[in-house]
Amino acid sequence: MRRILVLILLFPLLSGACAPHSATQLDAQLQTAIQDNRLAPLQPAPEVSPAKLRLGQYLFFDKELSGNRDTSCATCHQPLADTVDHLPLPIGTGGTGVAPNRHLGPLKPLVARNTPALFNLGQPEWRTMFWDARVEQTDDGALIARTSQGPVTLPPDLENVVAVQALFPPSARAEMRGFKGDPMRDSPGDVDIFGRQNEIARYLDNDIPAIWNGLWNRIVAIPEYVDLLQKAYPDTPVDEMGPQHLVNAIAAFQIDAYTFTHSPWDEYLAGDKHALSPAAKRGAILFYGKAGCNVCHMGNLLTDQKMHNIAAPQIGPGKQPAIEHRDYGRSLITRRDEDIFGFRTPSLRNVTLTGPYLHNGAYDSLEDVIRHHIDPAAALADYDVMHLPPEVRQRTWISEGVNRAMLDRLDPLLQVPADLTDEEISDLLAFLEALTDPAAKDLTKTIPDRVPSGLPVSDDPAVMQQFLQDKPFVRHP
Ligand code: HEC
Ligand code: HEC
């Protein structure tokens, strides 16, 4: 009897000694994983002149860059909403309200893909932008961009993929550019918030040079911007500048404002053994071991920047609404069969802040995302559209045929073991939590009080209404 009692009392100690659960054992195992995967803390953002950052900040928040003067980068990448909008699918020009309480304007479409976060864009590893990597830095260092209509002509002297990326939202009709008239449908085309013609809407979708020529003219019509441009680039006369000077500044601002290098994971990588809870350590060991997440979520940004088909539920209008609301992902750019349904592995930095998740925001919770990776077929079968906002739900058409086509082509690298226990999933979640830098939780200080166009910085409809009341002279030029 006494012997049994002793055994019962000793059991927790004995079992603890068998499984690698003591702090030092966990650290030793994790150290091996860190070495094998050659991981290091993130690097701080490079030094940039205050004038260039100020120019970039103003442009990021200035609705002057949208055809209808009603949308800025921050409309979707809202600092008060963690540089995203917390909507499955974003709402651009014509919409009203501040993310995530933003709603579609009359006759305006939803944007087809989820808004990605803007964290740590200055890390030297970045080679691609967008869910389909249509902006890319090639191995020889060249910056290229392609759309489904082919290669895009880019201005010279772009500094990085982030600057190339910034050329595109103002050219996308549903995001920032607005729509031109269509005589066949008797539609007059968009006007800006003052009722004036939207002169940016008339160009062809792929004509980035013409669209940006129009935007450049708008910006240099505002004396404060001319002054800022000269201060930001003191060695070049403004009349020798062009759109590249605008997007290089926008990129510099995003990198400076949204780089966060002190997540518990970075602190651990820098040598602080107490920065992670035991659960987060177990989660990291799983991530880089049994669960195989690092096969795709590799490196310091936790992405290989390659495209994979994990059979995400297809929700929203997709890129081809006419045929079953599908989004064929990367293959729309490359026209290659093997790229069908391929989407770029997202970085998992600060991922606990940036839901909903996947290229179309199909899931609200990280646990659902992990369970999808474990068993995509079961997750697709169980997928419930009822949690989606009505505007997305009404534009969703789940198709058995598309689900089967996605599962048939599932990426062979997606071999997350089906026997991950609930405890292991919760350990993985603890690791994902450790990828969030607490300093990234409040981005209020990155928002300017005003912008040089004088347009409202906020998307609050009351602010917009008040602004239009106060400025009748602008409304009737
Ligand atoms: C209407 C909402 C909306 C607006 C406005 C908007 N974006 Fe985005 N942004 C998105 C969406 C959606 C994507 C992903 C699109 C895709 O991959 O097909 C994206 C992608 C990006 C990315 C790529 C991130 C990555 O990891 O690949 C960056 C950077 C970015 N936007 C910055 C900007 C800037 C700068 C502006 C203003 C010039 C802007 N965005 C305006 C919704 C928006
Ligand atoms: C085969 C490559 C691959 C493997 C292995 C993999 N993932 Fe992913 N993961 C992806 C891709 C690709 C996406 C985006 C797919 C999409 O949007 O259609 C994604 C999305 C995610 C997201 C959503 C992030 C966001 O911002 O939307 C999380 C979280 C995630 N993965 C975690 C994990 C974890 C944890 C594991 C291991 C259990 C794992 N992944 C294994 C490729 C992979």
Per residue in 230-278, pLDDT tens? Answer: 999 999 999 999 999 999 999 999 999 999 999 999 999 999 999 999 9
Q: Is residue 126 part of a domain?
A: yes
What per-residue confidence (pLDDT) applies to 3? Answer: 56
Three-state DSSP state, 137: strand
Same domain, 180 and 300: no
The sign of the CA dihedral 437, 438, 441, 444 is: negative
Phi-psi region of 178 (alpha: psi -120 to 50; beta: other; left: phi over 0): left
Pocket test for ligand 1, best of 77, 114, 135, 297 (most atoms within 8 A of CB): 77
Same domain, 80 and 123: yes
Which residues are within 8 A (CB) of 3 and not within 5 positions of it... i.e. 6 or more apart? none
CA of 354 to the centre of ligand 2 (A): 14
Ligand nearest to the CA of 303: 2
Same domain, 412 and 466: no
Please report, to the nearest 10 degrees, the dihedral formed by the alpha carbons of residues 283, 289, 295, 299 taken in order.
Answer: 60
- Kindly write down the DSSP assignment for every residue of 70-100, as one continuous string: ---HHHHSBGGGTTB-SSSS---TT-BSSTT
Q: Which long-range contacts (CB under 8 A, 24 or more apart) does 395-403 make?
A: 395/110, 395/316, 395/317, 395/321, 395/325, 396/315, 396/316, 396/325, 397/324, 397/325, 398/313, 398/314, 398/315, 399/314, 399/324, 399/325, 399/326, 401/324, 402/314, 402/324, 402/326, 403/311, 403/314
Same domain, 297 and 435: yes
CA separation, residue 313 to residues 189, 199, 325, 377 (Å): 34, 38, 11, 10
Q: Is residue 288 part of a domain?
A: yes
Q: Is residue 277 part of a domain?
A: yes
Q: Are strands 128-129 and 150-151 parallel, antiparallel or unpaired?
A: unpaired
Same domain, 385 and 429: yes
Same domain, 358 and 372: yes
Q: How far apart are the C-alpha atoms of 50 and 240, rounded to whole Å? A: 22
The one-letter amino acid at 40? A
Whether residue 115 contacts residue 94, with contact meaning beta carbons closer than 8 Å, is answered with no
Helix (H) or strand (E) holding 375, with range, is none
Q: Is residue 418 part of a domain?
A: yes
Q: How far apart are the C-alpha atoms of 166 and 147, rounded to whole Å? A: 14
Same domain, 28 and 101: no
Ligand nearest to the CA of 99: 1
Ligand nearest to the CA of 68: 1
Same domain, 208 and 318: no
Q: Is residue 59 part of a domain?
A: yes
Atom of ligand 1 lying closest to residue 114 CA: 12
Give the closest residue (by CA) to ligand 1 atom 43. 76
Same domain, 381 and 398: yes
Q: How far apart are the C-alpha atoms of 381 and 313, rounded to whole Å? A: 9
Pocket test for ligand 2, best of 369, 383, 425 (most atoms within 8 A of CB): 369
CB of 346 within 6 A of ligand 1: the answer is: no
What per-residue confidence (pLDDT) applies to 452? Answer: 97
List the CATH number of the domain containing 220: 1.10.760.10
Which residue is listed with tokens 């919770």? 365
Whether residue 168 contacts residue 145, with contact meaning beta carbons closer than 8 Å, is answered with yes
Pocket test for ligand 1, best of 53, 165, 297, 357 (most atoms within 8 A of CB): 165
Same domain, 227 and 113: yes
Structure tokens at 214: 């129009």
Pocket test for ligand 2, best of 290, 326, 358 (most atoms within 8 A of CB): 358
CB of 71 within 6 A of ligand 1: the answer is: yes
Angle at 334 between CA 321 and CA 164, to 5 degrees: 90
Q: Is it true that the peptide bond before 100 is cis, omega within 30 degrees of 0? A: yes
Q: Is residue 13 part of a domain?
A: no
Q: Is residue 73 part of a domain?
A: yes
Structure tokens at 309: 């088909």
Number of domains in the chain: 2
Q: Is it true that the peptide bond before 90 is cis, omega within 30 degrees of 0? A: no
Phi-psi region of 341 (alpha: psi -120 to 50; beta: other; left: phi over 0): left
Structure tokens at 189: 């085309």
CA of 94 to the centre of ligand 1 (A): 17
CB of 169 within 6 A of ligand 1: the answer is: yes
CB of 360 within 6 A of ligand 1: the answer is: no
Q: How far apart are the C-alpha atoms of 197 and 191, rounded to whole Å? A: 5
What per-residue confidence (pLDDT) applies to 187? Answer: 78
Cα atoms in the Cβ-side hemisphere of radius 13 Å centred on 436: 17
Residue ranges of the chain with per-residue pLDDT less than 70: 1-21, 321-324, 472-477
Same domain, 381 and 457: no
Ligand 2, CB cutoff 6 Å, lining residues: 291-293, 295-297, 308, 310, 312, 343, 345-346, 348, 351, 354, 357-359, 366, 369-370, 373, 411, 413-414, 416, 428
Q: Is residue 15 part of a domain?
A: no
Whether residue 93 contacts residue 67, with contact meaning beta carbons closer than 8 Å, is answered with yes
CB of 176 within 6 A of ligand 1: the answer is: yes
Same domain, 226 and 359: no
CA–chain centroid gap for 364, Å, is 15
CA of 29 to the centre of ligand 2 (A): 23
Q: How far apart are the C-alpha atoms of 163 and 282, rounded to whole Å? A: 38
CB of 63 within 6 A of ligand 1: the answer is: no
Could you tell me the residue range of the domain that residue 312 belongs to? 23-44+261-439
What per-residue confidence (pLDDT) applies to 15? Answer: 43
Pocket test for ligand 2, best of 296, 343, 366, 426 (most atoms within 8 A of CB): 296
Structure tokens at 80: 């008060």
Structure tokens at 323: 């045929």
CB of 255 within 6 A of ligand 1: the answer is: no
CA of 83 to the centre of ligand 2 (A): 20
Ligand nearest to the CA of 371: 2
Structure tokens at 240: 């020798």
Structure tokens at 228: 């800022």
Atom of ligand 1 lying closest to residue 93 CA: 1
